[in-house]
């Protein structure tokens, strides 16, 4: 790979001109190389990538391009070759929707694989993982390499086989869950994966920034804790402002003194803040209050079939796999009068950011990388390369239409859609949540406008629906970012009525409100105007929108609306932009703060990992235990060496894993109580670090001491250590989930701050 770095001249080579020159040379080399047979070409590619011999990256690109033409039937555009080069250099490329990032990722993956690196091509869902792997297969196999995809339904054996391929496409959460499950194995052959040298992340800003702190959790069965019925009941009677307040960003709720007194009286206790109540009753009261005040039915969750089902705010639909941290989940169930489900013992957890940190090299592509430049640099040390469009953008982005009230705005949106519908021009409406999308669809249906609402629960179905959004007369109402990665072609997926759709002005995109980040606005706009198509986008904003209210807090402006409630002023426009910049700043700050907590856990996890690997791959467990307890070792002398080694390994790993799980639980508690202390203005992060470091040292020591005790007492015979009989069974059932913890979520769904802020 060295040759590539050198050829590109390292850092300074990052300028576009230099790689443009390489692409030009690649094009020049194409004619001659094009004479070679398939076998000769594949061999040439292997020669070019062999070792660190100085070879010509231009030739390499040319070979990839010719192979693409022969296998996939399309010729890469120059911009795609250039983007491929950037990915091979480890950048995040900024490349607009519809510019063909799938091919860029495929060429880069193939390139890395040719250099002998194992590649994980990371997607946002199952459907895309499968689609892209299959699409790319002919190119990969042309070079004698292998490719597979990971999907949710696969069992361990199928996964193991898939991960053995040179290039593995997989949804980020499945890959993360596999990492977590592999951290519980007791012998190496149970592992399904073994990491990879390179991660190529599609929709990179979504995975690396928006979802970065979403924790993937592995849990084993164990009963949970919920606020008691009495506490739930008392909290239900509390009145906002008098008994509790909600902070401006809607992430935390606090009891007032009045509220605290009311609760204390009802529960018959002297003070919630007494030592005996702080870690128990107060925590439960806070959980109940969080559920009561911040989590709103039909916005943050729905109740269906007697169960609480979370709504994934970033996607705006039911998130089957998600649940809140146990206490919150139970509190919401109690609030709704449902059966409180068993919690799980958290065995391990991993944020997507920590997952990405496991790859020696990360690169990726997205239509909105530039806007995430700060985050990508700060959190991953990644640079952004902007790739020009293949064809000039013909989309018209209208200035925001700003209204005084949400009602005025809603009326205007409906009128605008109705007017567009008259012309037959396709319309795609981006809303922020399920409730909003349904309310809008209802209003449109009342006017006799047929509307397709996107709340399909299945990625493939969702992709099919969104693919048709460019058809004549179609009105599609979607929630945030639904169907990311799907190609919206004018005139329908088959482009049958393309000419007519073009004549009408292409797909009209309407945003029902600015997002908390301009990146998400741009993602929505990017759904139209692909590959030089005509199109337009406009956002409707009201001064009552969350972004404006929370971003504009403390500012005093008077705007004069016209009779329709519209505020047509440059000043108002600037104010809205300002509000969004404020919310963007808040998100960045939350991310940075939260990562400081998670980073420490992640570092500790790495140490545990190393220890686990040593125990798994060497006879160290047996050596350590027999050194500590030679008499016991002598008693086992009759047994075969591999049996006692595995027995020792099982014992050591049991206590190590249990210790880690306890450590995570303890850190949860610490962070909860630290939140309470933060009110008293101590410095929570330092305090947290101090405790976490001290406790981690204890963990390591205790895990060994307990293992020695078990080694001395447990029955060990020809079939190994009988840990189950000693009450030291590993959880028989495990399951995985993602915690609804997205900071981009609308207020209330984020548990990053506040009492619900636990590490999961
Ligand atoms: P993106 O992920 O950048 O939004 P896609 O990878 O989904 O874009 O590609 C959009 C469309 O463009 C697809 O239909 C794809 O087949 C097509 N496409 C990509 N590259 C080329 C090319 N070089 N020549 C012709 N069509 C292409
Ligand atoms: Mg794509």
- Residue in 33, 91, 97, 28 with CA at minimum distance from that of residue 67: 33
Query: Could you identify the atom of ligand 1 that is nearest to the CA of residue 74?
Result: 24
Q: What residue's CA is closest to ligand 1, atom 2?
A: 101
Phi then psi dihedrals of residue 385, to 5 deg? -115, 125
Q: Identify whether the C-beta of residue 542 lies closer than 8 Å to the C-beta of residue 408.
A: yes
Average pLDDT over residues 167-191: 94
CATH number of residue 164's parent domain: 3.40.50.300
Alpha-carbon distance 274 to 263, whole Å? Answer: 14
Query: Could you identify the atom of ligand 1 that is nearest to the CA of residue 531?
Result: 12
Q: Distance from the CA of 485 to the center of ligand 2, in angstroms?
A: 4
User: For residue 101, which ligand has an atom nearest its CA?
Assistant: 1
Q: Is residue 348 a part of any domain in this protein? A: no
Quickly state the pLDDT bin for 372 (edges 50, 70, 90): very high
Q: Is residue 745 a part of any domain in this protein? A: no
User: For residue 206, which ligand has an atom nearest its CA?
Assistant: 2
Q: How many CA atoms lie within 13 A of 439 on its CB side?
A: 14
Q: What is the pLDDT of residues 33-75, one digit of tens each?
A: 999 999 999 999 988 887 654 367 899 999 999 999 999 999 9
Q: What residue's CA is closest to ligand 1, atom 16?
A: 100
Residue range of the domain that includes 11 = 2-214+353-386
Q: What residue's CA is closest to ligand 1, atom 25?
A: 74
Query: Could you identify the atom of ligand 1 that is nearest to the CA of residue 96?
Result: 3
Q: Distance from the CA of 38 to the center of ligand 1, in angstroms?
A: 24
pLDDT at 222 over 60: no
- Answer whether 99 contacts ligand 1 (Cβ < 6 A): yes
Q: Identify whether the C-beta of residue 562 lies closer than 8 Å to the C-beta of residue 568.
A: yes
Alpha-carbon distance 90 to 10, whole Å? Answer: 11
CATH number of residue 270's parent domain: 3.90.1440.10
Q: Is residue 130 a part of any domain in this protein? A: yes
- Answer whether 756 contacts ligand 1 (Cβ < 6 A): no
Lowest mean pLDDT among 242-246, 353-357, 503-507: 242-246
More confident residue, 752 or 458: 458
- Answer whether 523 contacts ligand 1 (Cβ < 6 A): no
Asked if residue 458 and residue 374 are part of one domain, the reply reads no
pLDDT at 158 over 70: yes
Strand residue runs (E) in 36-161: 92-94, 119-123, 147-149
* 574: Cβ contacts below 8 Å, ≥ 6 apart: none
Q: Distance from the CA of 37 to the center of ligand 1, in angstroms?
A: 26
Q: Identify whether the C-beta of residue 483 lies closer than 8 Å to the C-beta of residue 463.
A: yes
Q: Distance from the CA of 99 to the center of ligand 1, in angstroms?
A: 6
Give residue 361's pLDDT.
97
Q: Distance from the CA of 459 to the center of ligand 2, in angstroms?
A: 14
Q: Is residue 638 a part of any domain in this protein? A: yes
Lowest mean pLDDT among 112-116, 294-298, 365-369, 670-674: 670-674
- Answer whether 484 contacts ligand 1 (Cβ < 6 A): no
Asked if residue 467 and residue 428 are part of one domain, the reply reads yes
Asked if residue 514 and residue 453 are part of one domain, the reply reads yes
Alpha-carbon distance 626 to 45, whole Å? Answer: 53
Strand-pairing partners, residue 220, are 345, 734
- Residue in 504, 507, 503, 474 with CA at minimum distance from that of residue 490: 507
Alpha-carbon distance 571 to 568, whole Å? Answer: 9
- Answer whether 527 contacts ligand 1 (Cβ < 6 A): no
Asked if residue 242 and residue 208 are part of one domain, the reply reads no
Q: Is residue 590 a part of any domain in this protein? A: no
CATH number of residue 669's parent domain: 1.10.3060.10
* 208: Cβ contacts below 8 Å, ≥ 6 apart: 92, 201, 352, 353, 356, 362, 364, 372, 375, 376, 379, 380, 382
Give residue 748's pLDDT.
30
Asked if residue 623 and residue 567 are part of one domain, the reply reads no
Asked if residue 102 and residue 21 are part of one domain, the reply reads yes
- Residue in 128, 150, 146, 21 with CA at minimum distance from that of residue 81: 21
Please state the three-class secondary structure of 137-176 as a single string: HHHHHHCCCCEEECCCCCCHHHHHHHHCCCEEEEEHHHHH
Asked if residue 308 and residue 269 are part of one domain, the reply reads yes
Q: Identify whether the C-beta of residue 581 lies closer than 8 Å to the C-beta of residue 516.
A: no
Residue 28, H or E segment: helix 16-33
Q: How many CA atoms lie within 13 A of 415 on its CB side?
A: 9
Asked if residue 265 and residue 231 are part of one domain, the reply reads yes
- Residue in 354, 251, 310, 207 with CA at minimum distance from that of residue 751: 251
Pocket probe for ligand 1: among 79, 102, 135, 393, the residue whose CB has the most ligand atoms within 8 Å is 102
pLDDT at 143 over 60: yes
Asked if residue 277 and residue 203 are part of one domain, the reply reads no
Give residue 160's pLDDT.
97
Q: Is residue 374 a part of any domain in this protein? A: yes
Quickly state the pLDDT bin for 225 (edges 50, 70, 90): low
Helix 57-72 to helix 126-142 angle (10° resolution) is 110
pLDDT at 636 over 70: yes
Give residue 750's pLDDT.
31
Pocket probe for ligand 1: among 97, 100, 481, 493, the residue whose CB has the most ligand atoms within 8 Å is 100
Average pLDDT over residues 531-551: 95
More confident residue, 696 or 743: 696
Q: Distance from the CA of 514 to the center of ligand 1, in angstroms?
A: 28
How high does pLDDT run on average in the chain? Answer: 86
pLDDT at 757 over 50: no
- Answer whether 102 contacts ligand 1 (Cβ < 6 A): yes
Average pLDDT over residues 636-640: 94
- Answer whether 74 contacts ligand 1 (Cβ < 6 A): yes
Q: What residue's CA is closest to ligand 1, atom 20?
A: 100
Asked if residue 684 and residue 541 are part of one domain, the reply reads no
Asked if residue 53 and residue 183 are part of one domain, the reply reads yes
Q: Distance from the CA of 342 to the center of ligand 1, in angstroms?
A: 46
Quickly state the pLDDT bin for 337 (edges 50, 70, 90): confident
Tokens 């997607």, residue located: 123
User: What is the number of structural domains in the chain?
Assistant: 4
Lowest mean pLDDT among 18-32, 197-211, 551-565, 738-752: 738-752
Query: Could you identify the atom of ligand 1 that is nearest to the CA of residue 104?
Result: 6
C-alpha separations of 314 from 123, 207, 210, 239 in Å = 16, 12, 9, 30
CB count in 10 Å sphere of residue 151: 18
User: For residue 484, which ligand has an atom nearest its CA?
Assistant: 2
Q: In the chain, pLDDT over 90 holds for what percent of residues?
A: 59
Largest CA distance in the chain: 94
**665: alpha, beta or left, given left = phi > 0 and alpha = psi -120 to 50?**
alpha
Q: Distance from the CA of 137 to the center of ligand 2, in angstroms?
A: 17
Give residue 9's pLDDT.
37
Alpha-carbon distance 294 to 299, whole Å? Answer: 10
Lowest mean pLDDT among 186-200, 267-281, 425-439, 537-551: 267-281
DSSP-derived 3-state class of residue 368: coil
- Answer whether 100 contacts ligand 1 (Cβ < 6 A): yes
- Answer whether 247 contacts ligand 1 (Cβ < 6 A): no
- Residue in 155, 152, 94, 163 with CA at minimum distance from that of residue 127: 152
Q: Which range scores top for mean pLDDT: 71-80, 219-228, 231-240, 738-747?
A: 71-80
Give residue 732's pLDDT.
57
pTM of the model: 0.81
Cβ < 5 A residues, ion ligand 2: 101, 485
- Residue in 150, 146, 107 with CA at minimum distance from that of residue 128: 150
Q: Is residue 581 a part of any domain in this protein? A: no
Token pair in block for residue 548: 């404006």
User: For residue 532, which ligand has an atom nearest its CA?
Assistant: 1
Asked if residue 376 and residue 323 are part of one domain, the reply reads no
Lowest mean pLDDT among 115-124, 628-637, 683-692: 683-692
Q: Is residue 583 a part of any domain in this protein? A: no
- Residue in 314, 321, 326, 341 with CA at minimum distance from that of residue 290: 326
Q: Which residues are annotated as a binding site for ATP?
A: 80, 98-102, 487
Q: Distance from the CA of 172 to the center of ligand 2, in angstroms?
A: 15
Q: What is the pLDDT of residues 248-266, one digit of tens each?
A: 767 778 888 899 899 999 8
């Amino acid at each position: 790979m060295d040759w590539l770095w050198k050829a590109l001249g390292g850092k300074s080579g990052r300028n576009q001109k230099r790689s443009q020159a390489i692409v030009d040379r690649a094009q020049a080399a194409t004619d001659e190389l094009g004479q070679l047979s398939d076998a000769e070409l594949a061999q040439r590619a292997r020669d070019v990538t062999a070792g660190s011999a100085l070879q010509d990256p231009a030739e390499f690109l040319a070979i990839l391009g010719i192979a693409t033409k022969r296998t996939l039937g399309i010729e890469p555009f120059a911009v795609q070759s250039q983007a491929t080069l950037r990915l091979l250099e480890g950048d995040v490329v900024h490349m607009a929707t519809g510019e063909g990032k799938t091919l860029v990722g495929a060429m880069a993956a193939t390139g890395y694989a040719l250099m002998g690196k194992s590649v994980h091509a990371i997607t946002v869902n199952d459907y895309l993982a499968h689609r892209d792997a299959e699409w790319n297969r002919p190119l990969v196999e042309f070079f004698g390499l292998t490719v597979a995809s990971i999907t949710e339904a696969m069992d361990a054996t199928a996964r193991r086989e898939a991960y053995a391929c040179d290039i593995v496409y997989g949804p980020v959460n499945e890959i993360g869950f596999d990492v977590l499950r592999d951290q519980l194995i007791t012998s190496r052959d149970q592992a399904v994966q073994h990491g990879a040298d390179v991660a190529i992340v599609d929709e990179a800003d979504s995975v690396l920034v928006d979802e970065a702190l979403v924790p993937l959790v592995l849990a084993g069965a164990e009963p949970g804790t919920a606020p008691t019925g009495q506490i739930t009941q008392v909290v239900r009677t509390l009145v906002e402002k008098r008994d509790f307040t909600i902070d401006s960003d809607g992430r935390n709720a606090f009891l007032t003194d009045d509220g605290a007194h009311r609760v204390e009286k009802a529960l018959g206790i002297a003070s919630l803040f007494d030592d005996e109540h702080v870690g128990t009753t107060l925590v439960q009261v806070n959980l109940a209050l969080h559920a009561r005040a911040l989590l709103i039915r039909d916005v943050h969750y729905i109740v269906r079939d007697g169960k609480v089902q979370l709504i994934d705010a970033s996607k705006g639909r039911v998130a089957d796999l998600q649940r809140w941290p146990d206490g919150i989940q139970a509190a919401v169930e109690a609030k709704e009068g449902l059966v409180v489900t068993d919690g799980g013992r958290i065995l391990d957890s991993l944020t997507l950011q920590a997952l990405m940190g496991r790859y020696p090299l990360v690169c990726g592509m997205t239509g909105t990388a530039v806007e995430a430049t700060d985050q990508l640099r700060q959190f991953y040390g990644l640079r952004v390369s902007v790739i020009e469009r293949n064809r000039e953008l013909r989309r018209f982005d209208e200035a925001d239409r700003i209204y005084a009230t949400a009602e005025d705005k809603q009326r205007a949106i409906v009128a605008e859609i109705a007017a567009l519908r008259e012309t037959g021009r396709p319309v795609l409406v981006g809303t922020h949540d399920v409730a909003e999308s349904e309310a809008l669809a209802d209003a449109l249906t009342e006017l006799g406008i047929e509307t397709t609402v996107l709340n399909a629960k299945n990625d493939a179905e969702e992709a099919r629906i969104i693919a048709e959004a460019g058809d004549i007369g179609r009105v599609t109402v979607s929630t945030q970012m639904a169907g990311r990665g799907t190609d919206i072609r004018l005139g329908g997926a088959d482009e049958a009525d393309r000419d007519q759709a073009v004549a009408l002005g292409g797909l009209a995109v309407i945003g029902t409100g600015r997002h908390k980040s301009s990146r998400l606005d741009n993602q929505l706009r990017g759904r139209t105007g692909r590959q030089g198509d005509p199109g337009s986008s406009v956002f409707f904003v009201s001064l009552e929108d969350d972004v404006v209210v929370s971003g504009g807090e403390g500012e005093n402006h008077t705007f004069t609306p016209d009779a329709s409630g519209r505020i047509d002023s440059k000043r108002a426009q600037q104010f809205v932009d300002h509000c969004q910049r404020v919310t963007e700043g808040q998100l960045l700050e939350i991310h940075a703060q939260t990562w400081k907590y998670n980073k420490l856990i992640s570092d500790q996890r790495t140490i545990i990992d190393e220890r686990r690997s040593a125990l798994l791959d060497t006879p160290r467990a047996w050596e350590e235990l027999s050194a500590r307890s030679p008499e016991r070792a002598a008693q086992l002398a009759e047994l075969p060496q591999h049996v006692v080694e595995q027995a020792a390994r099982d014992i050591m790993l049991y206590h190590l894993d249990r210790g880690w799980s306890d450590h995570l639980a303890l850190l949860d508690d610490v962070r909860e109580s630290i939140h309470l202390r933060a009110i008293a203005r101590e410095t929570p992060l330092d305090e947290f670090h101090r405790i976490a470091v001290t406790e981690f040292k204890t963990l390591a020591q205790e895990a060994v001491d307990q293992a020695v005790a078990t080694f001395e007492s447990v029955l060990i015979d020809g079939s190994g250590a009988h840990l189950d009989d000693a009450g030291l069974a590993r959880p028989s059932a495990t399951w995985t989930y993602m915690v609804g913890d997205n900071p981009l979520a609308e207020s209330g769904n984020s548990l990053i701050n506040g009492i619900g802020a636990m590490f999961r």
